[in-house]
Amino acid sequence: SFRLARSSLSAAKVASPRVLAPAFVLPPKPDPSAARFSTSQRSSEDVVAKKKANALIDALPGNSLVSKTGIITLTTAVSAAAISSELFVLNEEVVILGSFVIFLGYVSNLVAPAYTEWADGQIKKVTDILNTSRTAHVAAVQERISNVGEMKDVEALTTQLFELSKQTAALEHETFTLRQKAAVTAEVKSVLDAWVRHEGQLREAEQRDLVSTVLANVQAGLSDKKLQREILLSSVAEIEEWEAHIPGLDELLVRAALNLAASAEAGGNISRFETEMEQMAAKGINNLRIMASSEASQLGIQPARMYPSLMASPGVYNEEIFVGLDRALAKMSNLSMTAVMTLSNFWTWSGGIAQFVSWADKLNASIPYTSIWDPTLNPPFGALTTGTNGKMWIVAPRPNFTFTNTYFTYVLDLVLDFWKSGKAFAGAGPWAYGGIWRPFNARNQFNELWAGDPPAEGPGWYDVYDTDYAMEIVRKQADVVEAHMATL
């Protein structure tokens, strides 16, 4: 093969045309006039030539001028040796090949920057992707490490949760047991309640039958004239026996039972009420006639009436006044007193029958009130209690109230003699006890005084005050009654 290559190179050498060296020609003598222009032009061309030479040198491989020079020298020597040894034959193919190589080098010089930029971009893109992936992977691994670090106490937490679950299960079991017990208890209670209701219904039925039987027997017996007479005589005897030992003084018909014993907000004065009740008990009074009801008008505030009233309108009651009545009766019971309770009257100052008629009248007729009684405007009655000061009836104490003292002594002695003679005696009840009140006391928020006298009369006109000698007369009568009762 070497021979074949050598003979081929020899043949190519023979067949190839020779290139004649050009004849030597002396250059023309330079023009002195163009020296300056030529010098400057030559300087520019030298700069360009230097740049091209530098570019060619830079294109050679190597990092220094010595290495690049060595490469050029080596390449030249190799080329010369190849040509001289006919290893390399310069012909048309070589020219074409060289031209093609030069063209490729030129094209590569043109394309190299763009390709380099594109390659660098692709490399950077891949590098960025790899860096991003690495960063994400590092973050994911770090997060996983952190998550795993948070799970370091999972065993203790699991143990605690397991203990809690056992406690929860125990509580649920206990709750279920309690619910079952409660359900059983409720069922038992329901059965027992049903039996109780059944027994109650049976007792009610028996009581109804018994009441019906008794009523039928009583009604049948009441038709007997003899039985009717016996019942009547027995009732009269019981009443007479009960009345035979009741000495008493009449309390004002409004104060003790209703308003005075009510709260201050309802116009009462509990402290005064209790004081006066204890004063009367100390004087031997054991029975009071009290007003136990009062009625208001549908036409608004009326003259000389009791306010607040117990019954504001038909069937509508004032609870505060009811409380006053309860308090009055409780106090009387504590003092061993009895009460005669007046539920209505014909006087208009309590409302009374006149107010019921007004309610029943569809036209709401007003009540024809009489003029208010004023003792100073009605002689000669006013003179009975008029002393040297002109109005003795409002002065307290009144130890020398001669007419009243004489009247009390006469009436009470008469009643006492009547009782001692064996005749019916229901006690003595003079009108009326004023207690610690005095006419110069101020009115309350309802414009009421609660004197012994009713609002329609002069305040204090009939009052017996706590310091009056008449109270001593009452006490003496009570002592006589008590002594006489002890002999029976």
What is the Cα 299 distance to its own chain's centre? 43
Distance CA 453, CA 447 (A): 15
Distance CA 60, CA 76 (A): 13
Asked if the peptide bond before residue 432 counts as cis, ω within 30 degrees of 0, the response is yes
User: What pLDDT sits at residue 310?
Assistant: 93
Is pLDDT above 50 for 307?
yes
Beta bridge partners of 317: 311
Which range is least confidently modeled, 171-175, 200-204, 442-446, 456-460?
A: 456-460
Is pLDDT above 60 for 15?
no
User: What pLDDT sits at residue 239?
Assistant: 59
What percentage of the chain reaches a pLDDT higher than 70? 73
**Model confidence pLDDT, tens digit, residues 214-269:** 888 877 877 788 877 887 788 767 655 554 444 454 443 334 457 888 899 999 99
What percentage of the chain reaches a pLDDT higher than 90? 14
Q: Is the dihedral of CA 238, 243, 246, 248 positive or negative?
A: positive
User: Can you read off the two tokens belonging to residue 211?
Assistant: 């009441």
User: What pLDDT sits at residue 374?
Assistant: 58
**Model confidence pLDDT, tens digit, residues 99-136:** 887 877 777 777 777 778 888 888 888 888 988 888 88
**Dihedral over alpha carbons 360, 364, 368, 374 (to 10 degrees):** 100
| Coil/strand/helix, residue 312 | strand
User: What pLDDT sits at residue 175?
Assistant: 92
Which range is least confidently modeled, 39-53, 353-367, 421-435?
A: 39-53
**Model confidence pLDDT, tens digit, residues 140-188:** 888 888 877 766 777 777 888 888 888 999 999 999 999 999 999 999 9
Residue with tokens 């003979």: 7
Mean predicted confidence (pLDDT) in 329-345 = 89
User: What pLDDT sits at residue 17?
Assistant: 42
